[in-house]
Structure 1
């Protein structure tokens, strides 16, 4: 059993409350269980209890064993002096506040329903290989509960991504153009190279790129050279590589960029298809910058997914249609950035960017319109989502895909069933009906 289960039981009052008494023998009436505390200190704040003949207002602390109070050193922490009830599974010893007064204790072990406990333990003991711990009980959950949970976690996921964008915006001096550049660069790294591309965007100022965006070769030289992916002048194996090296050396000296350049070993090539190699992605990013005088406003103003996709799918230079690495020719034509990749960029870059911007203006309709873009995108298909489809979760668009990914990563994988509406519904079926 985890302490989280006792939090859930106390929050929803899913225990036998007949003749409720403290370990000290005083009658208890729960007038208000309080609300979960997300900060340091007791687990529940704002509780109202009748203990004996006295009404108490304060905090409730929850532990598996009463002795955890001392293990966590609460007896020396004044934040816990406001605790009016110590709710535990097993009351193995009395505990005291910093002034020496004893904290009333309530032991839940004899008051927990066996069916509820069994349902909880079944969820927690589910095979770790199984993506959904609730798979066996899922047919008992109404469709509307599933839909509501997926929508909830979709909004949580979008909110988390928008918060990251807002943090970048603050660090950039509240410059939306720089923010768009850094978020877009990270997006072009997709999963494997998002981190080095984020650092590259920080190491290559957007004003420098803008100044040379009219010349695609110079734009490529800045990106590839600052990424540490261009061969040295005496190692270039073709004229174009030699040209890029010369361009970069001149521009790096002019703008004093060399000290912040990345090294080649910082990029991930392992288990990537050649079409996804970092030099190819940088060439695609260079093509986008070359084609767009500005980044932020077009990403913000594009009326639909088709317009955004056309913007993101800017054609690369002739050289990068036939090379995966500088100086290394491909055996055939290098695939261009695919429509599915453009759709991922819209999901992971454009939508969070638009949401963050709308939130900064207090524009609720703008937030809704940004999230609505996800419904215009086709659903994603991968091994993470396949089990949810097999269990007949609705999966019609990228909005569903993003919601299901958030459900898997935020709830199913870490077994946070007690915080999930689906898991909660399964447990509620095992809560006994109180006697009249």
Structure 2
């Protein structure tokens, strides 16, 4: 058993409250459980409990054993002087506040139904990838849908928080944040980190000045990415790019860029090489006056698809790597790649900005985009599809990813609405 189970039991009051007494036989009445504290300090804040004839307002601390108070060094922390009740599974030692006063203790070991505890232990210990697999048939569809809606918003909040941090770092410049987010996602999963570093070393303001000069965009991007060294410049076009980059990097005093070793080529298809993605990024930026403001103005999914559709320069239509000609003809990003950019860049940007200006219509717009993007299909989504979860759109598949990462894999069943339903049903049945 872990403390999270006792947190759950206390929060929902899932224990026998008849003739409730402290270990010193003082009557206890719980008026307010308090709210779970995710920061440092006692576990539950702003609780109200009547002990004996006295009503106390303060905090509740929870441990498996009372001696854990000392193990966690609470006796040295004045924040724990506000604890009005020490809730434990087993009381093995009286504890005191810093002033020497005894802390009232409520022991739960003999007050929790055995079936509820066993269901919790089964969820934690069973071998299934999804802990609640054996119980899912009994969970109502509405409970599953509510949890999926919840985790989808959590996922958008998390992505939005990352963008908000970048906004603070870029002096509240949404165009720069948009450029960095788009550039990072041009690297997709394998090269996201180096693309992100590239965007930070090559500001959007510089690229925008040259948005009408395709050649200069490529010179800046490929040069700062480290692909215009003598090792790569083996033909006339690349040599001209190198000369242009040397001039522009000196003009703008660009910092030292990336190197070949920063980029990942291993086990990638040529169409996904970072060099190809750089060429596609240059094509995307060509003739784009604004990024963020345009994304706000566009209406429907086809408009966003058109926005990201661009044809690479003639050189990169015939090359996957600098100086190496290819027989195939690459014109630009495919449909799936564009949908991936919309999913991972546009939707979080709209959501983050909507939250910043408190705009529900903009949140609805972001969610509507997700609903119209086809569902993702991968090893994670297949797990939920096999358990009869419907995967109709990117709203569903994104929710599955969040549910899996934040709840199912770490077995945070007590924080999940589905797990809560299963445990609550067990309590009622007992």
Q: TM-score, normalised by structure 1?
A: 0.95
The answer to whether the aligner puts 1:251 opposite 2:248 as a matched pair is yes
Pairing of 1:282-321 with structure 2 (within 5 A): 282-321=278-317
Q: Distance in 1 between matches of 2:259 and 2:219?
A: 15
Q: How far does the alpha carbon of each residue in 1:121-178 deviate from its partner, in whole angstroms, 9 at most, with x for none?
A: 1110122xx4311111100100000111001110111111112112211211111111
Query: Are the equivalent residues in 1 in contact too, given 2:48–2:57 (CA < 8 A)?
Result: yes
Q: Quick one: distance in 2 between partners of 1:356 and 1:123? A: 35
Q: Which residue of 1 aligns with 2:225?
A: 227
In the alignment, which of 250, 255, 260 is matched to residue 264 of structure 1?
260
Give the corresponding residue for 1:16.
16
Q: Is the 8 A contact 1:231 1:326 kept in 2?
A: no
Q: What is the CA distance between 1:120 and its match in structure 2?
A: 0.6
**How far off is 1:45 after superposition?**
1.1
**Residue 260 of structure 1: SS of its match in structure 2?**
coil
- Unpaired segments of 5 or more residues in structure 2? none
Task: Give the corresponding residue for 1:32.
Answer: 32
TM-superposed deviation, 1:335? 6.9
1:337 lines up with 2:333 in the alignment: yes
Report how far residue 280 of structure 1 moved: 0.9
Number of the residue aligned with 1:156: 154
Corresponding residue number in structure 1 for 2:80? 80
**Structure 1 residue runs without a partner (length 5+):** none
Deviation at 1:99, TM superposition (A): 0.4
Tell me if the contact between 2:135 and 2:422 (Cα under 8 Å) persists in the aligned partners. yes
Once residues 191 and 67 of structure 1 are traced to their aligned partners in structure 2, the CA distance between those partners, rounded to angstroms, is: 46
2-side partners of 1:394 and 1:117: how far apart?
Answer: 31
- Aligned match of 2:215: 217
Instruction: Determine the C-alpha separation between the residues in 2 that align with 1:240 and 1:126.
Output: 61
Say yes or no: does 1:58 pair with 2:58: yes
Question: Among 409, 415, 418, which residue is 2:411 paired with?
Answer: 415
Partner SS for 1:429? helix
CA contact (8 A) 2:184 2:196 kept: yes
Q: 2:190 — aligned with what?
A: 192
State the secondary structure of the residue aligned to 1:404.
helix
- Distance between the aligned counterparts of 2:88 and 2:411, measured in 1? 22
Q: What SS does the aligned partner of 2:348 have?
A: helix
Which structure 2 residues correspond to residues 350-429 of structure 1 after superposition, within 5 A? Answer: 350-429=346-425
SS at match of 1:236: coil
Shift in Å, 1:331: 4.1
User: Could you list the per-position Cα deviations for residues 63-111 of structure 1 after superposition, in whole angstroms to 9, with x for gaps in the alignment?
Assistant: 1111111011101111000101111111111111010111111111111
**Further displaced range: 187-196 or 83-92:** 187-196
Deviation at 1:433, TM superposition (A): 6.5
Displacement after TM superposition at 1:208 (Å): 1.4
Contact 1:185 1:198 (8 Å CA) reproduced: yes
> What is the 5 A alignment of 1:108-123?
108-123=108-123
Q: Which moved more, 1:412-421 or 1:22-31?
A: 22-31
CA–CA distance in 1 between the matches of 2:140 and 2:124? 21
**Residue number in structure 2 paired with 1:208:** 206
What is the rounded CA distance, in whole Å, between the counterparts of 2:68 and 2:131 in structure 1? Answer: 29
Which residue is 1:106 aligned to? Answer: 106
Match of 2:234 in 1: 237
Q: From the superposition, tell whether residues 36 and 299 of structure 1 become closer, same or farther in structure 2 (CA, over 3 Å).
A: same
RMSD: 1.5
CA distance in 1, matches of 2:420, 2:234: 63
Q: CA deviation at 1:27?
A: 1.4
